[in-house]
Amino acid sequence: MGVAARLSPSEDPSSETADQRFGAECRVQLDPAVRDRLGLPVARLSGVAHQETMRVASFMLAKARQWLDAAGATLVWGSEPVARLSAGQHQAGTCRMGSDPATSVTDPWGRVWGHDNLFVSDGSLHPTNGGFNGTLRAPRRLSADTSRVLARYCDRVGSRI
């Protein structure tokens, strides 16, 4: 009895297991021409997957084929990754942290440049997802940001929490 195996549920074998990297040219912007049903501009992704992401995804595809062949699969299929961005993965790196407002969205603490009380506390601060779902890092980031904001507030009003 043969075993059939599909290597990935999507076109991108790295979608869940590889470190997804995004170049500085990748952007999430408001589309000036497309509106949602409420008349608000929709998000538009631009750029392509980083060359290293593509290399790792191709390597993983080849390894997966080897493992499945060794396990006795008689039919194995999958496709090479496509250099594109997708809203289907856990995107990262869209609000870069840095020390210069000209090249970053936030300061090193996640505070948006030019705004004292606006912080980014999600995966968009992370340059990559590190190979796993970045969702679990967001609560930790939010907790740290909340502690910092509360401490600043208490310093200003002279109280303790």
Catalytic residues: 90
Element (H, E) at 4: strand 3-6
Q: With beta carbons less than 8 A apart as the criterion, state whether 81 and 91 touch.
A: no
∠ at Cα 51 (48, 76), nearest 5°? 95
Reduce the DSSP state of residue 158 to 3 states and report it.
coil
d(CA 138, CA 143): 9
Number of Cβ atoms within 10 Å of the Cβ of 153: 12
